[in-house]
């Protein structure tokens, strides 16, 4: 007895599969669009906030356009609020800390993963213990130490603190990539008469550029936004960074909210630009050590 329902033709099956795929992509795009809007809304709110005066900040809805945009907030914070000086201090502290952290972490990771010596596992364990130490629980010991060696109210105290606390996480990210590097690279370099130092700086470090970029942007975000250590170790106004300098617009009886918003926008731009420029490198670096071969 013949079946009453005819089998679907190959063309109909392809059409049905294509329709299902299109619907799945549409749903995915809608979800991604919602996530993107949720992520962008705070940035739009902050920008509009920076263009309002105190009265509009409290009387207008958060995303309402200011009736008279206060572009002068940006000029005022840059000239009267010393934001230019704080911005420069943030660049110096963040840039130096990132370079030191990435370089030292790369050297240590290379020594642990690519060189054979008895205590490499113990040394790796000691560095990883740093991940379990609450960062701000060390404020009092560090304050006492820097006071005794004369580093209080000095950029070096902040740079050393950032470098030390970011080393374990940076090394952990680098480890996965270094373990996947083929030994043949080093063997060929040794046969050509390459020294250990030249091998690292000429061969290994350029190869690890994607993961180095990832660790650099992670360190940059933390160092740029850090507040507690700077507020504790730095007292001179000429040495403050952006995160601490913003307090100048908070008074006992009045607060210039528009100026605070303008300062936050200025402090956010370097991180945002760095992330946009290095976004491909960051994704490549995060996935480079996940697959061997």
255: DSSP letter: B
Q: How confident is the model at residue 288 (pLDDT cuts 50, 70, 90)?
A: low
Q: Which of 43-57, 86-100, 203-217 has the largest mean confidence? A: 86-100
Please give the Cα distance from 108 to 111 (Å, whole number). Answer: 5
Is the pLDDT reported for residue 285 higher than 60?
A: no
What is the percent of the chain with per-residue pLDDT over 70, rounded to a whole number?
88
Rg (CA), the chain: 26
pLDDT, tens digit, 9 for 90 and up, residues 53-75: 888 888 888 888 888 888 888 88
Residue 72 near residue 272, CB atoms below 8 Å: no
Is the pLDDT reported for residue 163 higher than 90?
A: yes
pLDDT score for 143: 93
Q: How confident is the model at residue 287 (pLDDT cuts 50, 70, 90)?
A: low
Is the pLDDT reported for residue 240 higher than 70?
A: yes
Per-residue burial over 27-60, b if 16 or more Cβ lie within 10 Å, else e, is eeeeeeeeeeeeeeeeeeeeebbbbbbeebbeee
Please give the Cα distance from 107 to 171 (Å, whole number). Answer: 10
105: DSSP letter: H
CB atoms within 10 A of CB 231: 14
pTM: 0.80
pLDDT score for 293: 45
CA atoms within a 13 Å half-sphere pointing along the CA-CB vector of 100: 17
Distance of CA 17 to the CA centre of its chain: 41
pLDDT score for 251: 64
Question: Would the CA dihedral through 246, 214, 168, 98 be positive or negative?
Answer: negative
pLDDT, tens digit, 9 for 90 and up, residues 18-38: 677 788 888 888 999 999 889
Is the pLDDT reported for residue 16 higher than 90?
A: no
Q: How confident is the model at residue 2 (pLDDT cuts 50, 70, 90)?
A: very low
What is the percent of the chain with per-residue pLDDT over 90, rounded to a whole number?
28
pLDDT score for 195: 84
Residue 219 near residue 102, CB atoms below 8 Å: yes
Cross-strand pairs, 250: 255
Contacts of 166 (CB under 8 A, 6+ apart): 97, 101, 105, 219, 222, 223
pLDDT, tens digit, 9 for 90 and up, residues 211-237: 898 899 889 989 998 999 999 999 898
Residue 219 near residue 229, CB atoms below 8 Å: no
57: DSSP letter: H
Q: Which of 197, 170, 190, 45 is nearest to 109 (CA)?
A: 170
Please give the Cα distance from 262 to 267 (Å, whole number). Answer: 9
Is the pLDDT reported for residue 4 higher than 70?
A: no
Distance of CA 159 to the CA centre of its chain: 16
pLDDT, tens digit, 9 for 90 and up, residues 98-115: 999 999 999 999 999 888
Least reliable range by pLDDT among 55-69, 127-141, 167-181, 239-253: 239-253
């Amino acid at each position: 007895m013949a079946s009453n329902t005819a089998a679907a033709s190959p063309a109909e099956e392809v059409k049905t599969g294509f329709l299902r795929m299109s619907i799945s992509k549409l749903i995915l795009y809608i979800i991604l669009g919602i996530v993107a809007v949720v992520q962008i809304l705070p940035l739009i709110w902050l920008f509009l906030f920076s263009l309002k005066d105190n009265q509009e900040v409290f009387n207008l809805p958060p995303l309402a356009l200011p009736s008279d945009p206060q572009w002068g907030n940006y000029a005022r914070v840059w000239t009267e609020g010393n934001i230019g000086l704080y911005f420069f201090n943030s660049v110096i502290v963040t840039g130096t800390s990132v370079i030191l952290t990435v370089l030292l972490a790369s050297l240590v990771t290379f020594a642990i993963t690519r060189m054979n010596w008895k205590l490499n596992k113990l040394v790796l364990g000691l560095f990883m213990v740093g991940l379990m130490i609450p960062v701000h629980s060390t404020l009092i010991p560090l304050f006492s130490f820097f006071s005794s060696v004369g580093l209080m109210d000095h950029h070096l105290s902040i740079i050393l603190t950032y470098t030390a606390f970011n080393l374990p996480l940076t090394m952990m990210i680098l480890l996965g990539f270094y373990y996947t590097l083929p030994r043949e690279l080093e063997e060929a370099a040794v046969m050509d008469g390459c020294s250990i130092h030249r091998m690292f700086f000429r061969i290994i470090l350029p190869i690890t550029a994607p993961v180095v970029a990832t660790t650099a942007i992670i360190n940059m975000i933390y160092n740029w936004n850090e507040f507690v250590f700077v507020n504790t170790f730095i007292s001179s106004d000429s040495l403050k960074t952006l995160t601490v300098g913003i307090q100048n617009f908070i008074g006992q009886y009045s607060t210039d909210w528009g100026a605070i918003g303008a300062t936050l926008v200025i402090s956010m731009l370097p991180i945002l630009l760095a992330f946009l420029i290095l976004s491909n490198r960051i994704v490549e670096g995060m996935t480079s050590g996940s697959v061997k071969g």
